[in-house]
A and B are shown apart, each in its own frame.
Chain A
């Protein structure tokens, strides 16, 4: 029997958040409304990216340091398709996701056989190679000149220009990604990932095909990252190789470590706290100190691992809650007999 009050609580939370997001552009913030919307659009974009990265270290337990490579691949796929073929965003998004997944499989299939440490290093090398290629293949990417003049996305022939339109668009994308990731978490796929994370050898003994599930995780993570990149290119209308450096991977890793690795709500909360915080720092600190902001991210990584490795919203407690419920149901059944 489902317990109606439990289901309602999380549904109420989701509906409340969606309503809040929809109302946000119309709240009386005065002249700073557009600024707040831009910051929040960035935050929601990073929530999507964090949800995507979370699948690899959070669900499957492998450290992926090359996530930003897929973000960059998605952004350039989107930018180049928009400039050369003038495709619509709704064609570009799936194509970028597909391209990300393709590279995810190409990189993952041979490297996921390695142990965790080597995998981390190879993904790092991959993201560096992506930046080198973006910078040096001038015929394709215009290299350090960047790609300017990407057309804005349009919906039913109406081009998006205003900040609240982009905000709605990214909230919609987040909703889609959230539903997909949430459904995967509770599926056969998710259970296999968790089994791999907890104990690879035990999972293998239970018949989990390690390589297949790891590559699937990596490809899905890559496609979400690429989709985020595709949105970013269409939103910012200019992309440059330096936007996709290793630092971004660290930032996204920091978001999920801070929020709670493996926990969907945690990773989203991490992005929602740290990204606006970064913007506040950008406004408050002088330029020279702001460029050293990664000091804080590095410190967060170290301190979280030392004192609270499960993050703000731990994944474990959700699992434990579920186990307790099952326990209750079982004892209830026994009681009836």
Chain B
């Protein structure tokens, strides 16, 4: 009886950790899925924006000595601007080029940014100094037997939920959101209806990148480790989440992130911790093979 209780509380703890992780994946996945929705491009460099978010906030709190929440907000803004610039410099000139060219550019940008970060910040793992963070983060918010939920987890989950709701409102209740949905359906017709397609694409990059940068800070806090290659694995996992939910669909990205986060933590705990990263790849490959439209995505037919 005792061991059963211990087991179930371990399981609950894993579930809590999984949901936290899933929320962060969902934040990154939203960036992939929105960009894919409007320009049908897998923005490989998105994972690097997530990494830059973590490093920018780190630099602001350590070198510039800004308070944590100011750095947090400022990082969001810088990442948004960065996303717009990325599109402007790298992707916009290739809008009418073959898809292979845009895809190769995206990979090139990802590699470039990753190594730029390596040159600037070095390959050593860094962590946010404890004294600059709000002290409440490391305290437990809620404990039940063996299961505990830290204030940091509460912070991550609530930030995720708040921004997801905000995003939903932007997409469905504002003019620019309506324009985004129109552009994702048909760019040419949207342009004919008077929508500034490039402006909408820039806006999409800005939102996606801000969420990605925010996810970078949250993961940096959660694992207490930031390093230049962090965007590479997280980017692929978030892409897996986007595919799982159905690429192009924002609620799908949220659902996919949650499912993947839980699957990863539970899988690492009960199946094999060596293959922790492999679980995401396997889930992604399986979904692409057997249900490419994802859990709640729409079927994308190829146009002749």
| B is bound to A | yes
Residues of A within 8 A of B13 (CB): none
Q: Does B159 contact A (CB under 8 A)?
A: no
Tell me whether A91 is interfacial, beta carbon within 8 Å.
no
Which chain A residue lies CB-closest to B228? A292
Chain B residues 70-119 with CB under 8 Å of chain A are 90, 93-94, 97-105, 107-116, 118-119
Q: Which residues of A contact B281 (CB under 8 A)?
A: 125, 128-129
Measured between beta carbons, the chain A residues less than 8 angstroms from B251 are none
- Contact flag A111-B288 (CB < 8 Å), given A132-B277, A288-B122: yes
Contacts of B282 in A (CB 8 A): 125, 129
Q: How many residues of A contact B (CB 8 A)?
A: 44
Q: 1/0 per position for A291-305, CB-CB distance to B under 8 A? A: 111110111111001
Is A177 engaged at the interface, CB distance under 8 Å to the other chain?
A: no
The answer, among A63, A250, A289, A295, for a CB contact under 8 Å with B100, is: A63
Which residues of chain B are within 8 angstroms of A121 by Cβ–Cβ distance?
A: 42, 236, 239, 243, 284, 288
Option from A114, A118, A298 in Cβ contact (under 8 Å) with B108 = A298
Judge whether B288 and A132 touch: CB under 8 Å.
Answer: no
CA–CA, A120 and B42, complex, Å: 10
The answer on a CB contact under 8 Å between A295 and B116 is yes
Task: Determine if B274 is an interface residue (Cβ-Cβ < 8 Å).
Answer: yes
| B104 touching A257, Cβ below 8 Å | yes
- Known: A201-B304, A305-B94. Contact between A116 and B103, CB under 8 A? yes
A136 to B271, alpha carbons, bound, how many Å?
Answer: 14
Give every chain B residue within 8 A of A289 (Cβ-Cβ): 119
Q: Is the CB of A116 within 8 A of B112?
A: no
Contact A124 B108 (CB under 8 A): no
Beta-carbon nearest neighbor of B276 in chain A:
A132
Q: Is B63 an interface residue (CB 8 A)?
A: no
- Kindly state the separation between the CA atoms of A195 and B20 in the bound complex, as whole angstroms: 48
Q: Contact: A57 with B100, CB < 8 Å?
A: yes
Cβ of B288 and Cβ of A298 under 8 Å apart? no
Tell which of B40, B104, B236, B288 touches A305, judged by Cβ atoms closer than 8 Å: B104
Q: How far, in whole Å, are A61 and B281 apart by their CA atoms in the complex?
A: 24
CB distance from A105 to the nearest CB of B (A): 15
Flag whether A162 is at the interface (Cβ < 8 A).
Answer: no
Chain A interface secondary structure, helix, strand, loop or mixed? Answer: helix
Q: Which of A61, A114, A297, A302 contacts B105 (CB 8 A)?
A: A302
B236 contacts across to A, CB distance below 8 A: 121, 124-125, 128
Task: Given A121-B239, A292-B118, answer yes or no on A302-B285 (Cβ-Cβ < 8 Å).
Answer: no
Residues from chain A with Cβ under 8 Å of B289 in the complex: 110-111, 114, 122
Our pick among A62, A111, A132, A298 for the contact of B110 (Cβ within 8 Å) is: A298
Among A126, A297, A298, chain B packs the most CB atoms within 10 A around the CB of: A298
1/0 contact string of A103-145 vs chain B (CB within 8 Å): 0000000110011111011101110110010011000000000
A188 near B: Cβ within 8 Å?
A: no
Query: Which residues in window 302-320 of A have CB below 8 A to B?
Result: 302, 305-306, 309
Q: Does B267 contact A (CB under 8 A)?
A: no
A224 in contact (CB, < 8 A): no
Instruction: Tell whether A305 pairs with B105 under 8 Å between CB atoms, given A111-B288, A121-B243, A126-B285.
Output: yes
Report the bound CA distance from A121 to B304 in whole Å: 23
Tell me whether A65 is interfacial, beta carbon within 8 Å. Answer: yes
Q: How far is the CB of B126 from chain A (nearest CB, A)?
A: 16
Say if the beta carbon of A43 comes within 8 Å of chain B. Answer: no
Residues 241-286 of B contacting A (Cβ, < 8 Å): 243, 274-275, 277-278, 281-282, 284-285
- A253 sits at the interface (CB 8 A): yes
Chain B residues within 8 Å of A120, by CB: 42, 103
Cβ A117 vs Cβ B119 within 8 A: no
CB<8 Å pairs between A and B, sample of 6: A111-B289, A124-B236, A288-B122, A291-B123, A302-B108, A306-B105
